[in-house]
Every structure is written in C-alpha cells, then in structure tokens.
Chains A and B, each alone.
Chain A
Amino acid sequence: MIKESLPDRLLKSLFYLTIGLFSVYCLLPFWSVVASSFASEASILKNGYTFWPKDFSLDAYKMIFSDNTIYRAYGVTTFVTVAGTVISMILTSALAYALSVKSVKYRNHIAFYVYFTMLFHGGLVATYLLISKYLDMKDTIWVLIIPSLLSAWNMFLLRNFFASIDDSIAESAKIDGANDVYILFRIILPISLPALATIGLFYALSYWNKWFDAVLYINDKDLYPLQYLIQRIMNNLDYINQISADVSIPNFIPPAMTVRLATTVVTIGPIVLLYPFLQKYFVKGLMVGAVKG
C-alpha cells in the first residue's frame, strides 16, 4: 500500500466535503416540507416555512385523513401501479423474449419496428384525439394504464438481458418437448428475476408518479391519482375547502398551507419507506444496462 501524499489527501477531503454538501442539498427540500407539515398553520403563516416545527401540530394530517379523497386517490394510484406493472411486465417480457431468440428470422425487423417509435412520434395532439375521441377512454381508470403499457426502452433493456442467457437452456427444454410459452414463463423468467425486478421498478415508478395523463383524460374526482391530487391542491383551494367544510368553528380559517404540505408527505411516504429496498435494483439494473448497452 502506497502512502498517500498530502495533496492527494487534501483532494480526497475536498471530495468528501463536496459530496457531503451535495447530499445535504438533495435532502434539504424534502426535510423542510416534512418539518413544515408538522407545524401549526398559524406558525407557518407567521414565520414561514421551517426546518424545525416550533409549534408542533398534527391538524393538517387529521384533516386529510378525515376526508375520503386521499383514500380514493391512494386506491386509484395503488391499482394503477399494481395492475399496470403486472400487465406491462407480461407484455414486455413476451415481446423481449421473442426478439431475443436467434431462430426468429424476423426479429430484427420487429426490433426496428419498435425502435422507430423511439425516434419519431405522432405527437400529443394525435395521441390525445386517439385516446379521447376514437378509443373513448376518457374518465376510465384504464386510461392511466393502457396507453403507457410498453416502453421501448425497457423492452430493449430486457431483450439484451434475455439475449445474454445461454441458448442451450431453452434448446434442451425444447428437446424435452416444451413450447416457447412454457420455456419463457417456467424457465427463462425464473432465472431472470434481478433484471425483471429492475424493469418492474421502472414501470412501477412511472405508474406511481403519473399525473399528466390525468390532466388530459380525467375529470372524475373519484379517479384522481395521488400525484394529480397534489397538482390540483397546489393550484386551487377546492380540496382544502371541501375537507374543512365539516369544521364547525366560527371564523375557522382552512389550514391551506399545511394541508398541502401534509398531502405531499403522505404521497411520497411509500416511496420513502420502500426506497432502501428498491434502490439496489435501480443501481444494479442501470449498471447492467450501461455495461451491455
């Protein structure tokens, strides 16, 4: 082991400092919103946002959970995320597997058919008209799922992974009389779990964070996903007036600020809780994609 010189150690310390500061920068906005959401409305109005709630209060959370809007939004988002991810994974792995088998003569044609959609697209207007006018999917929960079922990017990531699996595994199953569908679901997918976890997480996150499709296609309040609810309450007071309608205190001022913050915290809660478990798959999957890419 060579002993490090002074400039080397100084540079290393500088790196520690920079990375440490950048991490604080990444955490700060998140921390401030969580802290402020636990402050009382009065103290936020008086002192502004805070990094440490001086006047601790759970009022905003109590109000959110006393109204069923948040539960509905949670239900919508959970359903969209779970159903969407499952269907996406089935379609993606079926297509990716077919394109990874070398005996499929037209696999490169199909791959180009998919790849072209990454280069050129019909644009927002045509997609909007197709979905709202011709497919008539407005104000259904499926509009949050079906138009985003497949991502060409994820499909190619998975195809590259399948292509790296030894051909002889599928071949020997074929000799034993298994068909390709059986081989995919019973042999290939079980040995591809790390890659599936990564791609599944990419899909799950995109469903969980979906809001723009709701802007375009959802008017029905019962079908608002969580992220769209956040967007709504930031821009108007409907939700806050609605949940404070039951309060029968004279001169009651709806806690508009803290309710917004608390709703934000409630929305990101599951991501924060699951994050430590999910993170390694993202890193691993991206590493695989990068090395192979």
Chain B
Amino acid sequence: MSATPAGYAEQAYSPSKKRSAIGAFIFELLKNKFLYLLALPGMIWFFVFAYLPMGGIIIAFQDFKAMQGIAGSEFVGLKNFRFFFRSNDWIQIVTNTLFLNVLFIVFNTLAAVAIAVMVTELGGKWFKKLTQSVMIFPHFLSWTVVAMFVMAFVATDGGFINQILSAFGIPPVQFLSSPEYWPFILVLLKIWHGAGFASIVYMATISGINPDIYESASIDGASRFQKIRFITLPLLKPTVILLLILAVGGIFNGDFGMIYAIIGRNPPLYPTTDVIDTYLFRAMMDLGDMSMSAAIGFMQSLIGFLLVLSVNAIAKKLAPESAIF
C-alpha cells in the first residue's frame, strides 16, 4: 500500500515490475526511510534487552562459571533441571506460586468488579470522585513503602492488630514467625493495592453500555439488583474473561516485587510465601548458582508461554470476542 503521493511517484519511475525480493525489500526501506529510522532505536533496545537474554537461556544447559563466561562454560545437558527436581523445594515453591496467584486473581477480580458495579450505581458526584481517588491511590505506592505499612499492622510489639488483641486480653500473635496467616494477609494487601486500580477498566466497560438497555429495563419494572444481575454483569463478562486470560498466562510468575519487599529474607515464613521467583533470586544471589537459576527461569518462561497460547486457543473456541490474538 503506497498511499502517499511520494510513493506513487517513485513507483511510476521504477523501471521493472519484476524486482527481486531483496530489491523490493530495499525499495520499501528507502521509501519509508524516515519511519524505519524512527523505529530503529526501539528495535535495537528490544534486541539487546529482550532478545539477547533469550540467548542466555543456554546457561540453563551449562555448568556456568563466571570466569569462563557463556562461551567457555561446559555443557551438561539437563543436569541443572535434574538437580532442581531432586530436592523437594520445588514442590513447595510451585505450590505456593500457584496457590497465591489463584487467590490473588480470584479475589482481586471479584473485588474490582464489585467496586466497578457499586461505584457506577452511586449518585453523589463528590462522594464518587473522592472514594475513587482514595481507592486508586495505593496502586501508586511501591511495595517497599507498603512493607512499612504492613509492619505497623503486624508488628508483635505495638502493631495495630496486636494492640486490639491485647485490649481484649488475647496474647499477641507472632505474625513474623507464623506462616499460616500470610496467604490471607497477602490477599488483603493485593486487594488494597490493586483492586481500585483494576476496577477502572471494568468501569470503562460499564460506561460503554448503551443506556437505553437500562432505561427499557426500568420501564419493564426491573429492580436495581435485576439490572445489575441481568445487564451489567453479563456485559462485563468478555472483559473479565480477557483479563483472566492475561492473568492465567502469568500464573507461574510469582509477584516478586510484592513478596520480596514484604517477606524479604524471613525463612520462618517461607513455607507459605516462598514463590518460584524469590527462590530463584536467592539461588542466584546467595548461592551464585547461575545455571540452576537459569534452568528454573527457563521452565517458568516456557510454561507461561505455552499457557498463554493454550488459554488463548480455548478462549477463541468458547468466547471469540475475548481472545487476544
């Protein structure tokens, strides 16, 4: 397609219709040279910071030694993968990753949809604006800041929860050494941090619904609850499914930023909070085991990739409007 006048002019002057493929390629580059030049820096960046690391996956199949580098290290086949699966750590971290992510996805989606539905039903303008601002705000804070907030609540000496417990004469709970509470705490934090922000997308979808539908439902005597149940929620479904697909694709990726900032290096909490990403990070930084870490990371990327493809294929069958590609 050569929509520009310049394009027509150049084509008219080109002598032969049967240019070779390479000639056509160069011709296209020259015709849009400025546009390709604009794209070039970004493309180089993606090559260096996204594609070169993909080549680094080789490390997963090597006995990587920093001194010898990637070129000089010895190939060991699947030894790193076997090593990882020999210890029983992997069962715990994979379970934690999946369990926490399922909790996060389910509760965050429920909370975000609920907020979106409720806020759109609200009348008062200033109340709506104010509460919306407040609910989105936590998303702007980094997890390291959130970790400070968490301490104010769960600290054994002086934390709010233990202050309340002691007011009722209940002995303090040692949250920082009791792993059983943390999935619950992390879910509460996830909702706190992300539900308000996530609800914006659902609100946008609701605001796109034709108001006539609601009006004719009102004329037919539908109650507020019925309108939500039979109009809003069904029309939200494609958006919910689309975002669930995206989320499921990342289900093997633990939320490193959140968990490392909040839990940090606190081994008593690992039984419920150590995820693939935090484990990998420690294997790399503390043990210096580049090869095993790379093997774990490679499996994680590969599974995530296959998951996105398969979930998308399923979505295409069941709900074509929700498929990504």
A contacts, CB < 8 Å to B: 2, 4-5, 7-8, 11-12, 15-16, 18-20, 22-23, 25-27, 29-30, 32-33, 36, 44-45, 47-49, 91-92, 94-95, 97-99, 101-106, 110, 113-114, 117, 119-130, 133, 146-147, 149-150, 152, 155, 167, 171, 174-175, 179-181, 184, 205, 208-212, 216, 227-228, 230-231, 234-235, 260-261, 264, 267-268, 271, 275-276, 279, 282-283, 286-287, 290-291, 293
Q: Is the pair A16, B122 in contact by a Cβ cutoff of 8 Å? A: yes
A8-B223, A133-B69, A147-B49 given; A102·B38 CB < 8 A: no
3 shortest A-B CB distances, which residue pairs? Answer: A126-B56, A48-B158, A122-B53
A23-B134, A45-B158 given; A125·B43 CB < 8 A: no
Q: Can you list 23 A-B pairs with a CB-CB distance of less than 8 A?
A: A7-B223, A26-B135, A95-B42, A101-B35, A103-B3, A114-B43, A121-B50, A121-B301, A123-B298, A125-B56, A125-B59, A125-B293, A126-B57, A128-B284, A129-B70, A152-B46, A180-B35, A181-B38, A208-B142, A227-B145, A261-B148, A268-B141, A290-B200
Q: Which residues from A are CB-within-8-Å of B305? A: 119-120
Instruction: Tell me the interface secondary structure of chain A in the complex.
Output: helix
Q: Which residues from B are CB-within-8-Å of A12? A: 121-123, 224
Q: Is the pair B204, A7 in contact by a Cβ cutoff of 8 Å? A: no
Q: Which residues from B are CB-within-8-Å of A128? A: 284
Contact of B151 among A234, A268, A290 (CB under 8 A): A234
Q: Is the pair A227, B3 in contact by a Cβ cutoff of 8 Å? A: no
Contact of A234 among B2, B7, B54, B148 (CB under 8 A): B148
- Contact residues of B between 201 and 215, Cβ < 8 Å to A: 201, 203-205, 207-208
Q: Is the pair B140, A271 in contact by a Cβ cutoff of 8 Å? A: yes
Per-position 1/0 for B281-323, Cβ under 8 A of A? 1001100001001100110111011001000000000000000
Q: Which residues from B are CB-within-8-Å of A30? A: 137-138, 141, 149
- The verdict on B41 contacting chain A, using a C-beta distance below 8 Å, is yes
Per-position 1/0 for B261-293, Cβ under 8 A of A? 100110000000000010011001100001001
Distance between A262 CB and nearest chain B CB, rounded to angstroms: 10
Q: Which residues from A are CB-within-8-Å of B135? A: 19, 22-23, 26
Most buried by B among A92, A155, A179, A180: A180
Most buried by B among A22, A92, A180, A234: A22
Instruction: Tell me the interface secondary structure of chain B in the complex.
Output: helix
Instruction: Name which residue of chain A comes closest to B242, CB basis.
Output: A293
Q: Which residues from B are CB-within-8-Å of A117? A: 46, 50-51
- Contact residues of B between 238 and 260, Cβ < 8 Å to A: 239, 242, 249, 256-257, 260
- The verdict on B89 contacting chain A, using a C-beta distance below 8 Å, is no
Contact of B204 among A32, A230, A286 (CB under 8 A): A286
Q: Is the pair A184, B122 in contact by a Cβ cutoff of 8 Å? A: no
Contact of A95 among B39, B256, B302 (CB under 8 A): B39
Q: Complex Cα distance A23/B131, Å?
A: 6
A276-B133, A291-B204 given; A231·B144 CB < 8 A: yes
Q: Complex Cα distance A210/B261, Å?
A: 12
Contact of B148 among A129, A181, A230 (CB under 8 A): A230
Q: Using a Cβ–Cβ cut-off of 8 Å, how many residues does chain B contribute to the interface with A?
A: 111
Contact of B53 among A15, A126, A171, A235 (CB under 8 A): A126
Most buried by A among B59, B142, B285: B142
Contact of A125 among B41, B260, B284 (CB under 8 A): B284
Q: Which residues from A are CB-within-8-Å of B260? A: 212
Q: Is the pair B7, A48 in contact by a Cβ cutoff of 8 Å? A: no
Contact of A20 among B55, B131, B277 (CB under 8 A): B131
Q: Which residues from A are CB-within-8-Å of B140? A: 205, 209, 271, 275
